[in-house]
Amino acid sequence: MDELRLSHVDESGNARMVDVGGKDISKRTARVGARIWMSPSTLRLLQEEALPKGDVLAVAKVAGIMAAKRTAELVPLCHPLSLTQVDLTFEVVEADSRVDIECVTRTEDRTGIEMEALTGAAVAAITIYDMCKAVDRAMVIGDLRLLEKTGGKEDYIRSPEPVTSEAGTVVAVNVSGSKGQRKIPMPEARMRTDHGIEGDVHSGNWHRQVSLLAQESVDKMTAAGLKVGPGDFGENITTVGIDVASLPLLTTLEIGEALVEVTQIGKECHTRCAIYNQAGDCVMPREGIFVRVLRGGRVAPGDTVRVRAWGTGARGVGATVATDTEP
């Protein structure tokens, strides 16, 4: 089996532009997707063409086409290609308050056309942000990904995105003023950007600002004979219907009005805290996760927990992006 290596790096580790002169000319296509999420009110204005800068999607389409044609000027080691077609389409997904973008590029040339499609989709998303930012600066761009390519050495079709556990519901929002204690369910709470839940002891400028645990995990402990409920394992958000422990790092979740990013799965308990002593066991180190708040907002029982973008990081207990310590 040939050793995998980066084609844009030579034997000395220096960047290089690949010589494609010996390759055959063939028909090549690429299809790329991207998404941009916004508030429902902003999406409504976009659909009604009532935003201050005019027809958002018409301008975004032109911007994406223009960007695809300039890819070799933006990405240093890309070859200038003779594009035969660039097309962009948009789908408004009201249920998730987002716009889905697809960019398709075609050429007859010696190298692939994926970078042009990626550039077109990315700039279209950025243009939508620019057109809407006067009324909504909390928009989130994500899920930029190659969906399909044909031509060249091999074709590629992206596997379907996981759908089995992409949405659930908030069962309880729990807060405590002291570490190592059960948290108390509240009628609602407010998350603050890059801080956590206001009034909770674990909030602060670090990677474990808010903790989540599935009700299904709590139910396991109940079935084992423990008298426990939401907040008893120290979690801030108790969920149901979404397997939080299986989410990869860097997954972004919308929880009520807030947007968060998964930063750690499970944790190491060095001592048996009051939670363990009171409950007799603690499932949080095995099945709880921690997140950083990207966008603040109100969170309450009954709110939807929805995967906005699947992360590319590690999975499983012990996975973390930690570069900091608890404040």
* 296: its two tokens: 């603040």
Strand partners, 213: 238
Rounded to whole angstroms, the Cα distance separating 93 from 97 reads: 6
Whether residue 25 contacts residue 84, with contact meaning beta carbons closer than 8 Å, is answered with no
One of 130, 136, 194, 281 is an active-site residue; which one?
Answer: 130
Residue written as tokens 């939670």? Answer: 275
CA 225 to chain CA centroid, nearest Å: 37
Backbone angles phi, psi at 83, to 5 degrees: -70, 135
* 137: its two tokens: 């600066």
Closest to 128 in 3D by CA, of 57, 51, 62, 222:
57
Active site residue 143: no
Q: Give the Cα-Cα-Cα angle 112, 26, 117 (nearest 5 degrees).
A: 30
Could you give the residue numbers annotated as active site? 130
